[in-house]
Amino acid sequence: MESEIIDLVIFGAGGHAREMHDLVKAINQQKPTFNFLGFLDQSTNLKTKDTDLILGDHTWLSGKPKVRVVIAIGNSASRLHVRNLIRSVCNNEFQTLIHPTAYIGENCKIGDGSMISAGTVLTCGVMLGEHVIVNVRTSLSHEALVEDFVTIAPNATICGAVSIATGADIGASATIIQLKKIGAWSIVGAGAVVIKDVVENVTVVGNPARQIAERKSGWQNN
């Protein structure tokens, strides 16, 4: 019995949205899975660089309950905002996307709406929340826990039993050593090496990572 083809839209019109469009194409090359309908964005007069018209904003989903959506926006707080906008008009399912070249080990769990890019490795027992971005060539080791709306940039290394709280942003080529915790809505800069826990709402950079900035609690809701 053939699987039903899934109608899919991508929310966003920037670089990550185009990457997710390419990911959808890669999945369909392996096995026809998605009927890609187009992009959604709050700026409906835009065109993406691959010439697909924006279908509309979040209200386009109203009355189309079978259409699934993935929020392909690189900024964690923006994904949260868009999720809330979508939920204000409909209960459509959020689609998880996993590139065919990603390795997903035993006992891993990936939440709805999360995006796993090419060359990514999740070893075993890795837990990802909803609307997480794991970008190209990132590795997550055993029992790593990544909560909702986290963004992990390319080539990051997340060692065993690391915990990354909601909305945190892990920069390109950053390394977080085993058992460390990253607080909610914090930023780990590109190339940083985290060897101790990071509290919430701060920015850390360097090797070893050190705090350089702090934001007021709740900033992501503004």
CA–CA distance, 156 with 106 (Å, rounded to integer): 21
Tell me the mean pLDDT in the region 194-214: 98
* pLDDT score of 64 more than 50: yes
Residues in Cβ contact with 85 at an 8 Å cutoff, skipping those fewer than 6 apart: 42, 58
Beta-bridge mates of residue 193: 175
Tell me the mean pLDDT in the region 150-164: 98
pLDDT (0 to 100) of residue 154: 98
Dump pLDDT digits (tens) for 23-50. 999 999 999 999 999 999 987 666 656 5
What domains can be seen in the chain, in order of their start residue? Answer: 6-87 (3.40.50.20), 97-206 (2.160.10.10)
CA–CA distance, 96 with 38 (Å, rounded to integer): 17
pTM: 0.94
pLDDT (0 to 100) of residue 1: 47
Letter for the amino acid at 74?
G
pLDDT (0 to 100) of residue 218: 79
pLDDT (0 to 100) of residue 119: 98
pLDDT (0 to 100) of residue 120: 98
Phi-psi region at 113: left, alpha or beta (left = phi > 0; alpha = psi -120 to 50) = left
pLDDT (0 to 100) of residue 222: 72
pLDDT (0 to 100) of residue 72: 98
